[in-house]
Amino acid sequence: MEVDVTKLDCFRYCRFLRHVGKIMLLFVLALIGTIYYSTMKNALVPGVRSHNLAVAALAALGCLLYTAVVGLALWSYLACFLAQPGHVPPGWHPFQDAEAAAAELEAWERLAVEQQARRGGGWEGDAGRAAVARPRYCRKCAAWKPPRAHHDSMTGRCVLRMDHYCIWVLNCVGLLNYKFFVLFLAYAMLGCMVSAALLVKPCIDMFSSPHPTVGGLILTFLTFVFALAFSLALLGFVVMHGRLCTQNKTTIEAYEKRPIKPWPYDNGARQNLLDVFGRDRRLWLLPMHAPCFRRGLLEDALRVPPPPDELLGVRETV
């Protein structure tokens, strides 16, 4: 019996990870709460109780700023978890009828074979740049998907400008919640760095104390270790996604097996960042989209540019 390997979906056997993600969700919330509690209790609150007014005022300001950072991290995390990543609308396709869709698919497949024979899997010229900007047929959904959309095997749906499925947020990161994900990484990294820095002195004091409380020592030291470890790990992710934002690429596109140069969606670092964070500066640091910007994101993601001349030449032989 012949099996069509293009229709195999091995990731469906990994969908149980969505239930594991529920545990990860609780773990992240518990970790944020623990780090916040330990930092406030051991580093900031003692300063607020100081008899020195300058120290107390500075510590109170530190409490407000630190709480704001943690609150923004938590808000961004929940926004990324709750927001829809941007699914392809049911029945979407850019063609007049099924016959036109079939002809388009066949033309692209023939062009891909020609390009592969010429450059061993690479794309050339206008056809290469247009390869990433064309609609494609998802065999798992048995439906067309817009440019830059990919099939999310964890949810079984195609997602617009899909970046990846993140088990930490129990959601797919895509067009509509990518900004929230990047903000969560940035605020979480900043919060962990601040916590690690503030807990250095309390840790030294507890280890130097002749009679430290075992529970307090363990909590403070473990909080410092976790905050330091996560700040370093998150720094790597922030740098990576910051680079992707300035290039207008997703994680999937950055590691594409057939890289396309120059990248057709690269409009310069400033414009690329505006395409992620929006044009309203008041909302840049908040995990939310202006309604008009959200509509614009969806319209752009569903727009299909005209095919290149090289494809039109192939069409004549179809």
Q: Which residues are catalytic?
A: 166
Number of Cβ within 10 Å of residue 210's Cβ equals 4
* Helix axes 200-208 and 178-198, enclosed angle (nearest 10): 30
Closest CA to 222 of 195, 249, 186, 260: 195
Question: Which two three-digit tokens encode residue 33?
Answer: 């709460």
Radius of gyration of the chain (CA): 25
How far apart are the C-alpha atoms of 136 and 145, rounded to whole Å?
A: 5
Query: Per-residue b/e over 263-289, b at no fewer than 16 CB within 10 Å?
Result: bbbeeeeeebebbbbbeeeeeeebbbb
* Contact residues for 213 (Cβ-Cβ < 8 A; gap 6+): none
Closest CA to 8 of 167, 160, 151: 151
